[in-house]
Amino acid sequence: MNRKKILGVFLAVLTLAVLCAVFFLVPPAEGLDYYVRIAFFHIPMAWVSVLAFLLSAWWGARYLRSRDMRFDRLSARSARLGLIFVLLATASGAVFSKLTWGAYWNWDPRQTTIFVLLLIYGAYLTLRAALGEARLRARASAVYALFSFLTVPFLVFILPRLYFSLHPSPVINGSGSIDMDTSMLLTLLASLADGTLLYAFLMAGGSGRDIRKEESA
Amino acid sequence: MKSSLFHDIRLVFRKEMKSALRFRAAWAAMLMFALTTLACVSLAVQGGGLSPRLLAALYWTVLFFAFMAGIDRVFEAEDSAGTLLALRVYAPADAVLFGKLLYTWLLLLVLAVPLTLAFLLLMDVTVVTPLVLFLLVLLGCWGMAAAGTLVAALGLGASVRGSLAPILLMPLMLPVFLPAIFVTSGAFGAEAASLSFLFGMGLYDAVLTVGASVLFPHLWYAD
């Protein structure tokens, strides 16, 4: 069995375990009741969409340094996957928001952050579609991926100071301690690992297909 | 070396100014776009009654989209005349970036003066802290110019250049746009926002400028 198949089997088992934990192990959360189950889907999706953005910029930088088209393919694939994950994070967040705050969207700082990420992914892929020549496309999209990454400190540090947030506290609260039931925390960590492995699995699966697509273009 | 770069920047800036004076349509289009949008908004709300927050949002939205109407022209003169290669050969990347950036900043400031006066007049706005508004316009326009110059270079060779610039620029501009609206609403009479946001805008402008100067040579010189 090759490495990819082993990863696939492990991923399937882990996903099943996380689903069982979410539906049979995790207790209802204070103020959120069983709606908290959405968080075990939403948080990993949001995490992977940020990770994919970071890695897309990283591979963009590697491309600019080496001019190796392999890095451009990785950067583009990461952005495509990132777009899917960010759409899932936005949709699950909107459903959670409707169930707990009564509205699908209210421009909460974290909703704004995810929306900006969605815009960046959309812009990056639009730029790639608008540029025909492969080398020019690789150069321009690497530059845009890195340039748009400059917004991250603002989104993380300044935006939450501008607007009031209804969003539940992060896992690690302001005093530096973890305020969460143990089973809930373990399930969340497992779901984060599951989301990250899913991203790695999808990244590994696409490289050959991307090369064939590029060669036929 | 430094004085040579400064000299090159000045040459590119002068070239842009001469080109702009020769083709005044770009300036006129941006200004008329801003004034027409402003007139439409003022007419729709019958001149007044809006909260300072909404007024601030309208002000920056009009300024941003007026800029969008002209941003793709930053490299258009060379692209349409077929002189991009000559500029690539004779001018260093930093000189091109900063020469065009300074020109775009000046263009935006020139655009902002009549737009601000018309806005205050038509929307019946009183500016409580004019110095804060002045600093905001300086910083906001610099951010738009820095990001806009790089984005205009990204669009070179694109099949849909006109509509590409706003799509690429909007996510990059939100860190300028949102604090600017927040502080402008204070300048228009709402509860005064902390001036640390001005510092934050200045810092983000500096990050954009450094980022653009690091990344621009990768775009400017082909493989």
B54: left (phi over 0), alpha (psi -120 to 50) or beta: alpha
Taking the CA of residue A32 and the nearest CA in chain B, the distance in Å comes to: 31
Of B156, B162, B139, which Cα lies nearest the Cα of B85?
A: B156
Distance CA A150, CA B194 (A): 23
Q: How far apart are CA A116 and CA A168, in angstroms?
A: 20
Query: How much is the average pLDDT of B15-34?
Result: 82
CA gap B64, B37 in Å, rounded: 11
Going along chain A, which residue ranges are E strands? Answer: none
Around Cβ B71, how many Cβ atoms within 10 Å? 29
Q: What is the pLDDT of residue A138?
A: 94
Nearest to B103 by CA among B19, B33, B162: B19
The answer to whether the CB of B55 falls within 8 A of the CB of B125 is yes
pLDDT for A82: 94
Cβ atoms < 10 Å from Cβ of A167: 16
For residue B198, which amino acid is it?
L
**pLDDT, tens only, B190-204:** 777 777 888 889 999
pLDDT at B168: 92
Q: Would you say residue B100 has pLDDT above 90?
A: yes
Beta-bridge partner residues of A172: A178
Per-residue pLDDT band for B26 (boundaries 50, 70, 90) equals confident
Q: Is the pLDDT of residue B60 over 90?
A: yes
Token pair 């820095």 is at which residue? B146
Report chain A residues whose CB lies below 8 A from the CB of B204. Answer: 150, 154
Taking residue A51's Cβ as centre, other Cβ atoms within 10 Å add up to 19
List helix spans (H) across B45-129.
52-71, 76-81, 84-90, 93-122
Q: Which range among A201-205, A211-215, B103-107 has the greatest average pLDDT?
A: B103-107
Q: Is A102 left (phi over 0), alpha (psi -120 to 50) or beta?
A: left
Q: How close B142 gets to chain A, by Cα (Å)?
A: 16
User: Where exactly are the structural domains of chain A?
Assistant: 3-24+37-166+177-216
Count each helix (H run) and each strand (E run) in chain A, helices first. Answer: 8, 0
Task: Give residue-wise pLDDT tens across range A82-123.
Answer: 999 999 999 999 998 888 888 898 888 888 888 888 999 999
| Cα angle for residues A109, B58, A151 (degrees, 5° grid) | 35
What letters, b where the CB count within 10 A reaches 16 and e where it falls short, cover B132-150?
bbebbbbbbbbbbbbbbbb
Cβ within 8 Å, pair A158-B179: yes
Q: What is the pLDDT of residue A190?
A: 94
> If you compute the radius of gyration of chain A from its CA atoms, what whole number of angstroms results?
19
Tell which wins on pLDDT, B106 or A162. B106
Mean per-residue pLDDT, A181-201 = 91
> According to the model, what pLDDT value does residue A172 have?
46
More confident residue, B19 or A42: A42
- Tell me what the pLDDT averaged over chain A comes to: 85
Read off the pLDDT of each residue in B140-145 and give the average, rounded to a whole number: 94
Tokens of B108: 């935006």
Is A69 in the B-facing interface, judged by CB distances under 8 Å? no
Q: Which pLDDT belongs to residue A166?
A: 63
Tell if the CB–CB gap between B154 and A142 is shorter than 8 Å: no
- DSSP element (H, E) containing A86: helix A69-101
**With contact defined as beta carbons under 8 Å apart, do B122 and B38 qualify?**
yes
CB atoms A144 and B212 under 8 Å:
no
Range from A61-75, A142-156, B10-24 that averages highest in pLDDT: A61-75
Share of chain A above pLDDT 90, in %: 53
Distance to chain B for A174, nearest Cα, Å: 22
- In B, minimum Cα distance to A154 occurs at B175
Say if residue B125's pLDDT is above 70: yes
Q: What is the ipTM of this complex?
A: 0.88
Instruction: Dump pLDDT digits (tens) for A128-185.
Output: 999 988 999 999 999 999 999 888 877 776 676 666 666 665 554 545 555 677 888 8
Give percent helix, percent strand, percent coil of chain B, each to the nearest 5: 80, 0, 20
Query: Tens digits of per-residue pLDDT, B201-218?
Result: 999 999 999 999 999 999
Does residue A24 register a pLDDT over 50? yes
3-class DSSP string for B143-185: HHHHHHHHHHHHCCCECCHHHHHHHHHHHHHHHHHHHHHHHHH
pLDDT value at residue A135: 92
Q: Collapsing DSSP states into helix, strand and coil, what is residue A172?
A: strand
- Chain A 140-169, CB below 8 Å of chain B: which residues? 140, 142-144, 146-148, 150-151, 153-155, 158-159, 162
Give the list of residues 6+ apart from residue B8 with CB closer than 8 angstroms, or none. Answer: B91, B92, B94, B95, B99
